[in-house]
């Protein structure tokens, strides 16, 4: 599913945001990516969705080398990955329905099918009654659930979330995590970047931990036979 081979990333000469990162994530896994602020969690996620290109090393996602993927293939790669951001990244002048189904619209899926899929995912996140609301009319937790609905509406094989509960109170954060578990049980691989230690301990999932751009610990390294 995802393989990192000795990946390096830097924004300034000799200052590495990521340094010699190698790991494997298998299909259907639920992984927490953790570490203090500045550890390189967001950079790592950006490399997966090809928002950035690594300075060195190879990254395979669904068997594609995203470091060398042609530019015109990037949209397709991103459509196969559901992404949830800490700041939700919802389009403010589009309704919940429009935000959730935007990608489906660019794929030419007709309105009836878009409605059906939007209804299903919004029901899953408990917002089926708010399809015509605009993001700013929703609470933070609701906005994050819309972002989750958008991320899963196109049935991605991989769901990536960057600090998805960072702006939420503990109850809403637990709701989102339960939702991710539910999605993972359906077979979607889930990778969640968070520094919420309580949450990680409670969920008892594989944890990849970063520190100052280096892979500090991988609780699943022995199981998956990967060198750190």
Partner 1 sequence: MLQFLYFSFSEAITSLWRTRILNLLSLGTIMFAMFILGSFMFVGLNLQNLALDWQKQIQFNIFLTEEITEEERAEIQAYLGKSFFIDTFTYLSKDQARMRFDEKFAAYDKVTEGLEDNPFPASFEVFLLRGTKQQTYTTLKDELSTFGGIEEVYYDEEIFKRLGMFAGFIQMAGWFFGVIVIFSSIFTISNVLKLTFFTRREEVDIMKLVGASRAYIRGPFIIEGVLQGLLGASAGVALVYAGYLAVNHFLTGNATFILGNLEPEFLPLQWVFLILFAGAFSGLLGSLFSLHQFLEEHISYH
Q: Which of 3, 55, 56, 79 binds partner 1 (CB under 8 A)?
A: 79
First to last CA, the chain: 18
- Number of chain residues interacting with partner 1 (CB under 8 A): 26
**CA-closest candidate to residue 183, choices 209, 161, 207:** 161
Q: Give min distance, CB of 166 to partner 1, in A.
A: 17
What are the b/e assignments for 77-86, b being 16+ CB within 10 Å?
A: bbebbbbbbb
> What is the C-alpha separation between 32 and 52, in angstroms, rounded?
21
Q: Which of 3, 89, 119, 195 binds partner 1 (CB under 8 A)?
A: 89
Looking at the Cβ atoms of 103 and 176, the one nearer to partner 1 is 103
Q: How far is CA 24 from CA 179, 216, 220, in A?
A: 24, 15, 9
**CA-closest candidate to residue 83, choices 25, 148, 178:** 148
Q: Give min distance, CB of 154 to partner 1, in A.
A: 8
Q: Which of 6, 51, 140, 186 binds partner 1 (CB under 8 A)?
A: 51
- The answer to whether residue 68 forms part of the interface with partner 1 (CB under 8 A) is no
**CA-closest candidate to residue 17, choices 37, 40, 34:** 40
Q: What is the CA radius of gyration of the chain?
A: 17
- The answer to whether residue 105 forms part of the interface with partner 1 (CB under 8 A) is yes
Judged by CB under 8 A, which stretch of 6-14, 99-107, 134-142, 185-193 contacts partner 1? 99-107
Q: Which of 102, 115, 195, 221 binds partner 1 (CB under 8 A)?
A: 102
- The answer to whether residue 77 forms part of the interface with partner 1 (CB under 8 A) is yes
Q: Which of 6, 76, 129, 202 binds partner 1 (CB under 8 A)?
A: 76
- The answer to whether residue 90 forms part of the interface with partner 1 (CB under 8 A) is yes
Looking at the Cβ atoms of 82 and 213, the one nearer to partner 1 is 82
Q: Which of 3, 26, 55, 74 binds partner 1 (CB under 8 A)?
A: 74
Which residues lie across from 83 on neighbouring strands? Answer: 160
Contact 50, 128 (CB under 8 A): no
Indicate the length of the chain as a whole number. Answer: 228
- The answer to whether residue 55 forms part of the interface with partner 1 (CB under 8 A) is no
Instruction: Write out the binding residues for partner 1, residues 132-191 only, by CB under 8 A.
Output: 150
> What is the C-alpha separation between 52 and 182, in angstroms, rounded?
30
- Applying CB under 8 A, which residues contact partner 1? 49-51, 71-72, 74-80, 83, 85, 89-94, 102-103, 105-106, 108, 150
């Amino acid at each position: 599913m995802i393989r990192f081979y000795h990946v390096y990333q830097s924004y300034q000469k000799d200052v590495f945001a990521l340094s010699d990162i190698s790991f494997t994530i298998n299909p259907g896994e639920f992984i927490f990516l953790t570490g203090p602020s500045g550890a390189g969690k967001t950079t790592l996620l950006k490399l997966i969705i090809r928002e950035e290109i690594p300075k060195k090393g190879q990254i395979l996602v669904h068997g594609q080398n995203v470091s060398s993927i042609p530019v015109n293939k990037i949209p397709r790669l991103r459509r196969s990955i559901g992404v949830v951001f800490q700041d939700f990244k919802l389009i403010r002048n589009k309704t919940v329905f429009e935000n959730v189904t935007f990608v489906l619209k660019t794929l030419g899926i007709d309105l009836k099918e878009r409605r059906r899929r939007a209804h299903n995912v919004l029901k899953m996140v408990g917002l089926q009654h708010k399809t015509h609301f605009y993001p700013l009319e929703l609470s933070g937790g609701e906005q994050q659930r819309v972002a989750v609905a958008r991320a899963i509406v196109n049935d991605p094989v991989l769901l990536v979330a960057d600090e998805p509960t960072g702006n939420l109170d503990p109850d809403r954060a637990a709701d989102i995590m339960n939702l991710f578990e539910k999605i993972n049980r359906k077979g979607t691989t889930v990778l969640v970047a968070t520094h919420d230690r309580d949450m990680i301990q409670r969920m008892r999932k594989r944890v990849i931990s970063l520190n100052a751009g280096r892979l500090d610990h991988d609780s699943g390294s022995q199981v998956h036979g990967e060198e750190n």
